[in-house]
């Protein structure tokens, strides 16, 4: 929020009555500020404490929840494979349309070449490894590594190990 407002650490610190180093620690998550200090920093930024913590601004339109659908309970090996792929299981409940979840085993699906689409993606590698490229940034992902990105950025996965197992969560806008 500070950067979006075009403010320096020093400007926010002066307005909030704290040191620039402390504002930096709050931003990086290494400080444990009091509610009072968070309120002072929020005031310095011209936002509410709730907004500072990621909440909705007062009076903002709240998104309508997705229509209901039945929960899906099933062990992953029994779920339907995604058409055309030997190792992709769709974990999404029938009727869900704002979020999807897939379990991939050594099959990168349609993400083995550069692609972009609406929404967001979250990837968690459970076993094995692969490379992910997002908007030109390339990283090797190993077990317990994750990547969360805007799916509108061009992205793809390469160099999947034979034992690659990853969970992919996709959202729609």
Average pLDDT over residues 168-173: 83
Confidence of residue 13 (pLDDT cuts 50, 70, 90): very high
CB contact at 8 A, 111 and 104: no
Range in 36-50, 70-84, 91-105, 118-132 the model is least confident about = 70-84
User: Hey, do 9-52 and 76-171 end up sharing a CATH topology, with the first three levels equal?
Assistant: no
Checking if the pLDDT of 59 tops 80, the result is no
pTM: 0.55
Q: Can you tell me the distance from the alpha carbon of 98 to that of 60, in angstroms, rounded to the nearest whole number? A: 21
Regarding the domain delimited by 76-171, which CATH topology (the fold level of the hierarchy) does it fall under?
Answer: Jelly Rolls (2.60.120)
Instruction: Give bridge partners of residue 104 from the DSSP assignment.
Output: 88, 166
> Has residue 67 got a pLDDT over 70?
no
Segment 66-75 mean pLDDT: 60
Q: Strands, E, within 19-119: which ranges?
A: 88-90, 99-105
Residue 162 pLDDT greater than 50, yes or no: yes
Domain boundaries, the chain: 9-52, 76-171
- CATH (residue range 9-52): 1.10.260.40
């Amino acid at each position: 929020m500070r950067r979006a407002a075009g403010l320096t650490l020093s400007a926010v610190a002066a307005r909030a009555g704290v040191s620039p180093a402390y504002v930096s620690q709050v931003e990086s998550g290494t400080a444990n500020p009091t509610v009072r200090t968070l309120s002072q920093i929020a005031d310095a930024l011209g936002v509410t404490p709730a907004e500072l913590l990621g909440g909705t601004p007062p009076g903002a339109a709240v998104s309508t929840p997705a229509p209901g659908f039945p929960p899906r309970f099933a062990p992953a090996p029994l779920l339907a494979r995604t058409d055309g792929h030997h190792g992709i299981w769709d974990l999404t409940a029938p009727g869900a349309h704002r979020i999807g979840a897939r379990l991939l085993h050594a099959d990168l699906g349609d993400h083995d070449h550069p692609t972009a689409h609406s929404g967001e993606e979250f990837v968690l590698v459970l076993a094995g490894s692969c490379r992910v490229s997002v908007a030109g940034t390339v990283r090797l992902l190993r077990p317990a590594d994750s990547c969360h990105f805007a799916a509108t950025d061009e992205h793809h996965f390469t160099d999947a190990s034979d034992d690659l197992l990853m969970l992919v969560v996709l959202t729609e806008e």
